[in-house]
């Protein structure tokens, strides 16, 4: 509750906290991007290889976030009131919350793997929809949600809604889940390999793993996002990588071995 008795609802926070965190966290990476020693591509490569100006990326992301706000508002309205969620959350044991988080992570990963892979396999969908995201050959943090609007709805918005509904989490729990998922997605696109970064240490699906996918040789590999690599491993689309120092400074994610093309 804020001064003057104004209460900020769980639904409001669940809708807007991930958006605020997206811009704050990616803003930190904009500052860190000047540390060439930790970059997976040089700043020169970023400006030469990327096919879309940063202003257009910002506008594209803001549009997608506006759609997410609309969907979240409808979803919360349909699934129950503030009071119910607050009462439900006070009695939710930590193990149940943990189970809901794990289910939500698996549901989101499963949805995104198969939708993402299909957008690469189907030439029409790739050319007219998914190729927009791949205009960022050198990914950077605030470009994480730069997609065609239809892809934004199909992959992120629908995937998030399914994760919320199937896991049975409350609006309050969703604040933490979607904030975590947002930070993870931004980190996966940050284009840096930083010592001590917990996302990169705890998840093998990380900025280096996703960087491989954004390169031409990795275009048919490493579809998994945003948490685990299980579907890539199970279905043979996993491309292992190693991180090497570039002779001119900085780092580079390279395939650990030659993978035959599909």
User: Which of 146, 148, 120, 116 is closest to 50 using CA atoms?
Assistant: 146
Q: In which domain, by residue range, is 37 found?
A: 10-78+93-255
Supply the Cα-derived Rg of the chain in whole angstroms: 19
Does 2 map to a domain? no
Cα(208)–Cα(205) distance, rounded to whole angstroms? 8
218-260 per-position pLDDT tens digit: 999 999 999 999 999 999 999 999 999 998 889 999 998 765 4
The pLDDT value recorded for residue 255 is 92
Does 84 map to a domain? no
Which neighbouring-strand residues pair with 242?
254
The helix/strand/coil state of 93 is: coil
User: What's the predicted TM-score (pTM) here?
Assistant: 0.90
118-153 per-position pLDDT tens digit: 999 999 999 999 999 999 999 999 999 999 999 999
Does 260 map to a domain? no
pLDDT (mean) for 101-107: 98
Residue 71 has pLDDT above 70, yes or no: yes
Does 124 map to a domain? yes
Does 182 map to a domain? yes
Cα(221)–Cα(253) distance, rounded to whole angstroms? 14
Does 44 map to a domain? yes
The pLDDT value recorded for residue 248 is 85
The pLDDT value recorded for residue 247 is 87
Does 121 map to a domain? yes
The pLDDT value recorded for residue 90 is 60
What is the signed CA dihedral for 117, 20, 47, 44, rounded to 10 degrees? -110
111: left (phi > 0), else alpha (psi -120 to 50), else beta? Answer: alpha
For the chain, how many structural domains are there in total? 1
Does 3 map to a domain? no
Tally of residues, the chain: 262
């Amino acid at each position: 509750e804020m001064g003057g008795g104004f209460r900020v609802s769980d639904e409001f926070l669940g809708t807007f906290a991930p958006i605020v965190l997206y811009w704050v966290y990616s803003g930190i990476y904009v500052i860190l991007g000047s540390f060439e020693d930790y970059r997976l591509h040089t700043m020169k490569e970023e400006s030469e290889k990327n096919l879309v100006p940063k202003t257009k990326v910002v506008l594209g992301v803001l549009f997608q976030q506006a759609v997410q706000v609309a969907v979240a508002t409808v979803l919360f309205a349909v699934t129950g009131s503030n009071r119910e969620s607050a009462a439900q959350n006070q009695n939710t044991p930590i193990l149940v919350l943990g189970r809901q988080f794990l289910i939500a992570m698996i549901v989101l990963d499963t949805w995104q793997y198969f939708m993402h892979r299909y957008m690469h396999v189907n030439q029409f969908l790739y050319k007219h929809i998914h190729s927009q995201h791949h205009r960022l050959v050198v990914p950077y943090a605030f470009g994480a949600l730069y997609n065609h609007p239809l892809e934004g709805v199909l992959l992120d918005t629908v995937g998030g809604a399914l994760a919320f509904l199937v896991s049975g989490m409350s609006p309050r729990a969703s604040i933490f889940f979607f904030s975590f998922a947002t930070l993870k997605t931004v980190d996966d696109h940050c284009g840096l390999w930083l010592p001590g970064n917990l996302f990169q240490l705890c998840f093998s699906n990380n900025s280096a793993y996703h960087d491989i996918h954004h390169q031409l040789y990795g275009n048919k590999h490493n579809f998994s996002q945003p948490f685990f690599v299980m579907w890539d491993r199970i279905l043979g689309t996993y491309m292992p990588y190693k991180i090497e120092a570039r002779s001119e400074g900085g780092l580079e994610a390279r395939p650990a071995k030659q993978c035959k093309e599909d």
